[in-house]
Structure 1
């Protein structure tokens, strides 16, 4: 079961990354060019939100199936750099990234004018994208 969940989590990450990049760059480009907010822009930001939440759920399942703390104590996990990154740093950072996307999406819906909508999405999604890119375990992903 663990291998299957790991495979799904790794495969879905490509979709999350692609959609988050598209939504972020769409917001940045349209913010700086002064374009009007359209239903396509809404869909980009919504799809980024949905894919990230699905990835979060898959990640939570994976975290519990891995059982990092079943075999090792918290102290042992924290002393081992590789295990600490996968068991603690990666999940916490990704949870923060999901929270940022959720906050940005929620705040942008309350704005009535295009420029502030794009500004909120651009700020929150860019920070989330930076966190995601920083915390992807690249050595295990390829």
Structure 2
């Protein structure tokens, strides 16, 4: 179960990043070009938030069954000094919760903005901040700090 969830979490990250980038593109387009808000823009915003929520559920589930996190929680005093263990036990989860919290909050608050321009501006700025936070804590295959594959197989 753990390896399947890990592979699914790895795959879903690309859906989160793609949908978030697309929602950001639509928000900047609407804001900077002063376009009227379309239902498609709202769908892009909603889809990005939904993908983030699915990734959140997968991540929280993994957090509680991960052998790395289990080691971190039960051996905190030594594990906190090991970069890769600390990353998954504390840093990754904290930054992702912040990023997804921003996406959730902004997605809900943007709907209440009085004008299309304000909605686009609010989404563009805050979704970009959330994206930067998320990007800062994604383990990558080329990272000298935490190296993980870009795609994990299901087998």
Partner of residue 99, structure 1 = 101
Larger mean CA deviation between 69-78 and 31-40 belongs to 69-78
Partner of residue 2, structure 2 = 2
- Kindly indicate which of the two structures has a greater share of residues assigned to helix: 1
What is the root-mean-square deviation of aligned Cα atoms in Å? 1.2
2: CA distance, partners of 1:141 / 1:94: 18
Matched, 1:141 2:149: yes
1: CA distance, partners of 2:77 / 2:20: 35
Aligned length: 142
Runs of 4+ in 1 over 4 A off after TM superposition: none
Question: Which sections of structure 2, spanning at least 5 residues, go unmatched?
Answer: 142-147, 151-155
Specify whether residues 69 and 134 from structure 1 end up closer, same or farther in structure 2 by C-alpha distance, changes over 3 A only. closer
1: CA distance, partners of 2:124 / 2:75: 40
Counterparts of 1:40-59 in structure 2, within 5 Å, are: 40-59=40-59
Partner of residue 36, structure 1 = 36
2: CA distance, partners of 1:23 / 1:51: 12
Check conservation: 2:69, 2:88, Cα contact below 8 A. Answer: no
Give the drift of 1:26.
Answer: 1.1
Matched, 1:12 2:20: no
1: CA distance, partners of 2:98 / 2:43: 22
Check conservation: 2:19, 2:48, Cα contact below 8 A. Answer: yes
TM-score of the superposition, structure 1-length normalised? 0.95
Specify whether residues 104 and 69 from structure 1 end up closer, same or farther in structure 2 by C-alpha distance, changes over 3 A only. closer
Check conservation: 2:110, 2:122, Cα contact below 8 A. Answer: yes
Give the drift of 1:69.
Answer: 4.9
Check conservation: 2:63, 2:69, Cα contact below 8 A. Answer: no
2: CA distance, partners of 1:117 / 1:131: 21
Check conservation: 2:68, 2:88, Cα contact below 8 A. Answer: no
